Amino acid sequence: MKQLDVCLTPELLHLHNLSNSIVVVADIFRATSCMVTGLAYGVKSITPVATLEECRLLQERGMIGAAERNAKKEEGFQLDNSPFSYMADNLIGAEIAMTTTNGTLSITKAKATAVKVLVGSFLNLGALANYLRSEVYDVTVLCAGWKGRPNLEDTLFAGALADALQEQFMLLEDGTLMAQRLYQESRHNLLASVANSSHVRRLQRLGIQKDISYCLQTDLYDIVPVLRGGKLIAMP
Amino acid sequence: MKQLDVCLTPELLHLHNLSNSIVVVADIFRATSCMVTGLAYGVKSITPVATLEECRLLQERGMIGAAERNAKKEEGFQLDNSPFSYMADNLIGAEIAMTTTNGTLSITKAKATAVKVLVGSFLNLGALANYLRSEVYDVTVLCAGWKGRPNLEDTLFAGALADALQEQFMLLEDGTLMAQRLYQESRHNLLASVANSSHVRRLQRLGIQKDISYCLQTDLYDIVPVLRGGKLIAMP
């Protein structure tokens, strides 16, 4: 039987053997929720990069640059890290280069050894689960966390995916068990559950409550973003 | 107000600033439960060491050597890692050198920068909480985990301590919040809660169910083990 495992932060990724595993990266507030939204609205590709410099370079070469650090847009870039910014008409068919505090670093770390890298969020949870059921590989959910530490919202997403896949996958490790229990306990009110988390307090100070509510909606989009040749695209 | 923070595995300890913090190390199954039991029963001191070689050296110099790897006693050492072995009359007044898969490594890691290193378990939860309330320092609960990964039983202990101290300490970080929620959900039946955890399955294969039940009992002993000059002693 296939296994599903949860890695609570990229700082622990070296403890996971990814050689037979698809990695699902989750940075719920807000990088991967933005990626899913953009690709669902017709963005052609999103190139995740680890540094501001790479992002700037790609912007100079004609891509649309999106750069966030510490939950704020960096100066000199065209796009911010709010999912509502990814619904714009001028982004249909566009190529985006993106760097964020946690999410894009997780993607660049995972791609070194994983069979395949997908991007997950509550917005495309059902589509992801369906796709993973159809594959032969194990699954590792990589929570982006916050600056190396685990966070609540990404753990809840990992728990939601584990919960959806528990009939088809073995859930053996304690990290997985803990994520699933935290999700089960709060599945009926995710918004209340994250209200006290450190990142939500951080985002609320920036006045982006509506982003939080949006990112906690389940199954808005039927797409699975996959990394191909360094670019995230909607799986055909 | 003082802060209480939870570090889910020693692999994440570098992300925690310990310069104003007392560290409470927890390796519930079974290292720290053994330490608390031994010191409560009259062991004079326990010297935690990271390697088998150091432990062997100290045994040759007259200490009682206790060495465990992968939940089993290592050959050539006098003592194993079952708390019941620490209740023996011949250990009263004895000096023990101990090395375990996860617990002693966490202690040696923490002592480099922490204000003070204490040892925690459910067995001395109340005594620990009372002592920490009386101190001026922040608290970091360091879960020993399993080979770098978080585990359920140490996380539950961290949650229990956070829960006991929530009136006197701020609980700001998500790791702390998650530990507390997991504890609150299972406080009334810890044994059932850990029944499915990876380490309990591992221990059950070794036939040590009674160790598990023992280590989940709360407030058997009114002692606080503290590291002084490389040795754990019961705080006077």
Q: Which helix H or strand E contains A159, and what residues bound it? A: helix A152-164
Half-sphere exposure of A18 (CA within 13 A, CB side): 23
Nearest Cβ partner for A150 among B8, B148, B197: B8
**B150, A9: Cβ pair inside 8 Å?**
no
CB B30 within 8 A of CB B211: yes
Rounded to the nearest angstrom, the minimum Cα separation between B198 and chain A is: 6
Residue B232: name the closest of B82, B80, B117 by CA: B117
pLDDT in the model for residue B202: 80
Taking CA–CA distances from B9, the nearest residue in chain A reads: A12
Peptide bond into A30 cis (omega under 30): yes
Q: Read off the pLDDT of residues B176-204 as tens digits, 9 standing for 90 and up.
A: 999 999 999 999 999 999 988 888 888 87
CA–centroid distance for A53 within its chain: 22
- Residue of B178, B190, B197, B203 to mutate, testing the A interface (most A Cβ within 10 Å of its Cβ): B178
Q: Read off the pLDDT of residues A75-121 as tens digits, 9 standing for 90 and up.
A: 999 999 999 999 999 999 999 999 998 888 899 999 999 999 999 99
Q: At what angle do helices B174-186 and A152-164 cross, to 10 degrees?
A: 50
**A149, B177: Cβ pair inside 8 Å?**
no
Q: Read off the pLDDT of residues A8-29 as tens digits, 9 standing for 90 and up.
A: 999 999 999 999 999 999 999 9
Domain span at residue B84? 2-234
Q: Using a CB-CB distance cutoff of 8 angstroms, which residues of chain A are in contact with residue B12?
A: 9, 11-12, 148-149
Q: Using a CB-CB distance cutoff of 8 angstroms, which residues of chain B are in contact with residue A182?
A: 178, 181-182
Q: What is the Cα–Cα distance from A102 to A8, expressed in whole angstroms?
A: 12
Q: Read off the pLDDT of residues B209-227 as tens digits, 9 standing for 90 and up.
A: 899 999 999 999 999 999 9
Q: What is the Cα–Cα distance from A77 to A39, expressed in whole angstroms?
A: 19
Q: What is the Cα–Cα distance from B154 to B141, expressed in whole angstroms?
A: 9
Taking CA–CA distances from B200, the nearest residue in chain A reads: A174
**B177, A196: Cβ pair inside 8 Å?**
yes
pLDDT at A148 over 90: yes
Amino acid at B94: A
Rounded to the nearest angstrom, the minimum Cα separation between B96 and chain A is: 31
Show which residues on chain B lie within 8 Å of chain A, measured between beta carbons.
8-9, 11-12, 15, 146-152, 155, 172-175, 177-178, 181-182, 185, 196-199
pLDDT in the model for residue A77: 96
The one-character DSSP state at B84 is G
The one-character DSSP state at B74 is P
- Return the SS3 of B66: strand
Residue B178: name the closest of B150, B201, B149, B199 by CA: B150
Nearest Cβ partner for A181 among B146, B182, B198: B182
Q: Count how many pairs of residues, chain A against chain B, have C-beta atoms within 8 Å.
A: 72
Q: What is the Cα–Cα distance from B200 to B215, expressed in whole angstroms?
A: 12
Rounded to the nearest angstrom, the minimum Cα separation between A198 and chain B is: 6
Q: Read off the pLDDT of residues A32-62 as tens digits, 9 standing for 90 and up.
A: 999 999 999 999 999 999 899 999 999 999 9
Could you tell me the two tokens for A45?
Answer: 């590709």
Give me the sign of the Cα torsion angle A38, A24, A126, A176.
Answer: negative
Residue B135: name the closest of B3, B8, B232, B17 by CA: B3
Could you tell me the two tokens for A115?
Answer: 């069979």
Show which residues on chain A lie within 8 Å of chain B, measured between beta carbons.
8-9, 11-12, 15, 146-152, 155, 172-175, 177-178, 181-182, 185, 196-199
Q: Read off the pLDDT of residues B79-114 as tens digits, 9 standing for 90 and up.
A: 999 999 999 999 999 999 999 988 888 999 999 999
Q: Using a CB-CB distance cutoff of 8 angstroms, which residues of chain B are in contact with residue A17?
A: none
Find where tokens 């006290």 sit.
A196
Rounded to the nearest angstrom, the minimum Cα separation between A169 and chain B is: 16
Q: What is the mean pLDDT of residues B34-41?
A: 98
What CATH number is given to the structural domain containing B93? 3.90.1560.10
- The total number of structural domains that make up chain B: 1
Taking CA–CA distances from B7, the nearest residue in chain A reads: A149
**B148, A182: Cβ pair inside 8 Å?**
no
**A198, B152: Cβ pair inside 8 Å?**
no
Nearest Cβ partner for A8 among B150, B182, B198: B150
CB within 8 Å of A61: residues ≥ 6 apart: none
Residue A65: burial class (beta carbons within 10 Å; 0-12, 13-18, 19+): buried
Rounded to the nearest angstrom, the minimum Cα separation between A5 and chain B is: 12
**A148, B178: Cβ pair inside 8 Å?**
no
Amino acid at A101: T
Taking CA–CA distances from B156, the nearest residue in chain A reads: A178
Nearest Cβ partner for A181 among B150, B177, B185: B185
Least confident segment among A70-74, A106-110, A166-170, B135-139: A70-74
pLDDT at B207 over 80: no
